[in-house]
Structure 1
Amino acid sequence: MPFLPFLLLLLALPALAQQQLVVLGVAQDGGYPQAGATGEYAAVALGLRQRQQVVALGVVDEAAQQKFLFEATPDLPAQLFALNQYLPTPGTLPTGIFLTHGHIGHYTGLLHLGREALGASAVPVYAMPRMADFLTRNAPWSQLVALRNIALQPLAAGQAMVLNPKLRVTPFLVPHRDEFTETVGYAIQGQHKTAIFIPDIDKWSRWDQRLPEVIKHADYVLLDGTFYRNGEIARDMAEVPHPFVEETLRLLADLPPRERAKVYFLHLNHTNPLLDPGSAERREVQRLGFHVASEGLELPL
């Protein structure tokens, strides 16, 4: 099913107890501080900068007593603890985990569910076909499947996964470096509002959707903001063709203020000046009416 039509088919849902989306991490896969970056470690150790966890979301539905995790990052233990503060019961494990793709910051936290750690039982893990095949065929992930620490739940692009009568999640394919798996974003449709989550994507011109139109049909749009500008890292940035934040700002320059206010940048690389609350770049993003996501941000659904 095409991306925009399924957003336009949202049902008018009556009010229930609060649902909310919670940002549990905003950093790129390596986190902040990143391995080998001694200056960052010193700044965090001295209290000059704050540690940032790898990008993840939580979705909590109090009425349904459900809590979902989007991404299984290396920071899963701390993020799961944070998620449980919003809904301590039932149990400490999430109702389900949704994965976007097979890069290290987005799925390797699954190891914490295995026999060396939690020894979990049949935690539902929602994955696209190549992602599920990757987990099934490759150790050590295959052991999680064989021992039933996780129970893979198949997803299909454009098809909604109904989690309860007032909450559904729909994956959609996005272009990315798909060495091992496909890559998806998610439309998270709550009782009142819809959030779009795209933590990883290649240049917007490679996607078959127009970002301004996607924003128009959502309430919150959490976007890949990995790098602020070209030249931010020493290697050839064509090898990691994320859209620069500067490019995204230009692409969305004609949006009215109400539409700009829906946009939150996340998945920030350790080199990205948006990680610094006092940077000129962060002030510029905010001046233009956009947001930089932060850990603990709560968005009602």
Structure 2
Amino acid sequence: MKTFIYIPICFIFLMSCHQKKENKKIGYEQYITVLGIAQDGGYPHIGCQKVCCADFYAGRKERKSVVSLGLVDLQNQQKWIFEATPDLHTQLADLEQNHLKTKTIINGVFLTHAHIGHYTGLMYFGREAYGKKDIPVFVMPKMKAFLTNNGPWNQLVSLQNIMLNELQSDSTVILNKKLKVTPFLVPHRDEFSETVGYKIEGTHKSALFIPDIDKWYQWKKNILEEVKKVDYAFLDATFLNQKEVKRAMIEVPHPFIDETINLFKNESLTTKNKVIFIHFNHTNPALQKNSKERIAIEKLGFRFATEKNNYEL
């Protein structure tokens, strides 16, 4: 009888120690983790019959989740996610299984704008799926109005599945004593809401997150100077260059990677190394880590976001 009681107690103790070690395996107390890197349509892309997606179906390339960052604070046992993508269910599972498991599925969701890859994952919080109450969702005023006044999103609000927290541009949200987040407006195709990027600050380091913007020259701020102020800059890399897709770029304006590289060409290697490209269209060869285009850009000092990469704050 004593043996029977003793074994489970030891087992529980060992499991508890093991879980604590697992939570510490990243090596940082507060950090950003990359949960997705693809443009709204993901990779592989719907209807694509080109070699870029054919390589996936032939087993030569791995699936890529839609652009998202996780923000983890192991010390305070809190976690947040940037963007509610169509892959939100697996991205939240990634946070829980590989970073921090708590009773709360997420401490908050920060949205940038109302394009499909950035907010439609909210559907998973509804009665058909997770169905719990008061998930904090941080949104700008127009985004709040869009979700409140349009179905099916307004059902999430009326049933209190989500709790909308209104943001103001350039006004900082204090998450805890270690972390804070500041939204800022950027020019983009604002059919349904405004578009923001975020500055994420820890006690040691800080990051920019700008997955979508029309062109750098249209922004009231200077991207060179903004990158110099932080340690990491996750920047829009939807298309490599003008030749990538046979479509009028005026319909889907983004800064080409080539344009961003050209802007930073005279900057120091230290500054270039802060740039971490993210939000890749499925046609973008730089989406694939062994492509010659990506390797050439890395040799210039720029970096690329890769799922599961972690960055200390």
Find 1:256's aligned residue among 255, 264, 268.
268
Deviation at 1:92, TM superposition (A): 5.2
Q: Determine the structure 1 residue equivalent to 2:75.
A: 63
Specify the code of the residue in structure 2 equivalent to 1:280. K
Measure how far apart 1:41 and its partner are. Answer: 4.7
Question: Is it true that 1:18 corresponds to 2:29 in the alignment?
Answer: yes
Are 1:89 and 2:101 counterparts?
Answer: yes
Contact 1:32 1:40 in 2 (8 A): no
Contact 1:94/1:123, CA 8 A, preserved across alignment: yes
Distance in 1 (alpha carbons) for counterparts of 2:299 and 2:185: 31
- Residue 128 of structure 2 is aligned to residue 116 of structure 1: yes
Match for residue 199 of structure 1? 211
| Cα deviation, residue 40, structure 1 | 4.6
Query: Could you list the runs of 5+ residues in structure 2 that have no partner in the other structure?
Result: 1-27
What secondary structure does 1:238 align onto? coil
In the aligned structure 2, how far is the partner of 1:169 from the partner of 1:196? 10
- Residue 91 of structure 1: how far off its partner (Å): 2.1
Q: TM-score, normalised by structure 2?
A: 0.89
* Aligned-CA RMSD value: 1.3
**Contact in 2 for aligned 1:55/1:267 (Cα 8 Å):** yes
| Equivalent pair of 1:65/1:87 in contact (CA under 8 Å) | no
> Tell me, which stretches of 5 or more residues in structure 1 are unaligned?
1-16
For 1:237, what is the secondary structure of its paired residue?
A: coil
> Could you tell me which residue of structure 1 aligns to residue 149 of structure 2?
137
User: Which letter does structure 1 place at the counterpart of 2:261?
Assistant: L
State whether structure 2 residue 240 is matched by structure 1 residue 228.
Answer: yes
- How far off its partner does 1:279 sit? 1.8
State whether residues 27 and 270 of structure 1, in contact with CA within 8 Å, keep that contact through their aligned partners in structure 2.
Answer: yes
Partner of 2:175: 163
Contact 1:23 1:58 in 2 (8 A): yes
Query: Aligned equivalents of 1:257 and 1:224: distance in 2?
Result: 20
1:3 corresponds in structure 2 to none
In 2: Cα distance, 1:289 partner to 1:40 partner: 25
Q: 1:180 aligns with which of 188, 192, 196?
A: 192
**2:175 partner SS:** strand
Aligned partners of 1:212, 1:42: CA distance in 2, in Å? 37
Which residue in 2 is equivalent to 1:241?
Answer: 253
**Distance in 1 (alpha carbons) for counterparts of 2:306 and 2:104:** 23
Question: Which letter does structure 1 place at the counterpart of 2:76?
Answer: A
2:284 matched to 1:267?
A: no
Greater alpha carbon shift after TM alignment, 89-98 vs 58-67: 89-98
Separation of aligned partners in 1, 2:263 and 2:99: 38
Deviation at 1:235, TM superposition (A): 1.5
Deviation at 1:65, TM superposition (A): 0.9
- The 1-side partners of 2:133 and 2:107 are apart by 12
2:45 to 3, 23, 34: 34
Identity of aligned residues (%): 52
Give the match for residue 86 of structure 2.
74
- Residue identity matched to 2:168: A
- Structure 1 counterpart SS, 2:212: coil
Partner of 1:152 in structure 2? 164
Q: Structure 1's 31 and 281: CA in aligned 2 closer, same or farther, altered over 3 A?
A: same
DSSP-derived class of the 1:195 partner = strand
